[in-house]
Amino acid sequence: MNREPGARPVFPPEVVVQVKALACELPAESGLPLSRFSRQDLVNAVIQRGITASISGTTIWRWLHDDALRPWQHRSWIFPRDPLFEQKAGRVLDLYQGHWQDQALGNDEFVISADEKTSIQARVRVHPTAAPQPGQSMRVEFEYKRGGALQYLAAWDVRRAKIFGRCVSTTGIVPFGGLVKQVMEQEPYRTAKRVFWIVDNGSSHRGQAARQRLQKDYPHLELVHLPVHASWLNQVEIYFSIIQRKVLTPNDFSSLAAVEQRLLDFQLRYEQTAQPFEWKFTRAELKNLVAKLSLHPTTALAA
């Protein structure tokens, strides 16, 4: 390291490389009793390993920032374990692009994305919520009484930007069948050529049994299952995230009936200006993702 009085220290490239490599390690692999590195932890580790005699946390942060490395952060992740992950995910992505088995969908064919948002609570605050005022944000009482919980079932028409939903006390085959009936017995779905329903592998609509059960009542219904642990490919989850932000946070309701009323009222409000989601994850991105995951030793795509 060369340093003139008052100048920023200049480190040789090999030091920068070694520091970045260290930041990409898990601390436990080096025998450190840490779950992740902070900037100061990295400073200490760099000096203890003899990479350089001294260095500041700011310098390390600047180097890591250049490569978008943030070892002090983490997020949860589930690696795909469905042996047919790419095949199943590809079918869904094709539907989002308006194709099925290499054929373009017609105007009388529809794509529905459906799921359940479970255990939505009614938290009755012990003191009223205070509205925002100049210099003061909304204040929500920390303590609350439990007012029960409900389940919100929703179906999103991917290409028409239509939302259908209902609130029920519990999930299961019968409540999901009610959602299907709500959609399939109205136009244009009732007389459509085909209606594709994209669902996950929840017990309400799992496997071949669910497909046969639904097609008994609606022969033109095609149930399309996502791979296991791939709800992020289900477009209705985007709508659920909007619900969470705009309707349920903060959770402050006088009763469970008030939760249901707000959910259904928002549904009507949202649909007035709704547009199809701009879905950008395509088969090309899927192929790249599968290739990347196949390099990870714990990935079970080919199990």
Residue-wise pLDDT for 222-236, tens only, equals 999 999 989 999 999
* Domain 85-292 in this protein, CATH class: alpha beta
pTM: 0.82
Name the pLDDT band for 4 (thresholds 50, 70, 90).
Answer: low
Q: Tens digits of per-residue pLDDT, 166-194? A: 999 999 999 999 999 999 999 999 999 99
Q: How much is the pLDDT for 294?
A: 78
pLDDT band at 299 (very low <50, low <70, confident <90, very high): very low
**pLDDT given for residue 2 in this prediction:** 52
pLDDT tens digits, one per residue of 73-122:
988 877 777 889 999 999 999 999 999 999 999 999 999 999 999 999 99
Mean pLDDT of the chain: 92
- Give yes or no for residue 3 having a pLDDT over 80: no
Segment 269-290 mean pLDDT: 93
The pLDDT assigned to 303 comes to 35
pLDDT for the residue numbered 142: 94
* Domain edges within the chain: 13-66, 85-292
DSSP string, the chain: -B--TTSPPB--HHHHHHHHHHHTS-GGGGT-S-SS--HHHHHHHHHHTTS-S---HHHHHHHHHHTT--TT----------TTHHHHHHHHHHHHTTEETTEE--TTEEEEEEEEEEEEEEEEESSPPBPPBTTB--B--S-EEEEEEEEEEEEEETTTTEEEEEEESS-SHHHHHHHHHHHHTSTTTTT-SEEEEEE-S-GGG-HHHHHHHHHHH-TTEEEEEPPTT-GGG-THHHHHHHHHHHTSSS---SSHHHHHHHHHHHHHHHHHH---------HHHHHHHHHHHTTSTT--TT-
Percentage of residues in the chain having pLDDT higher than 90? 85
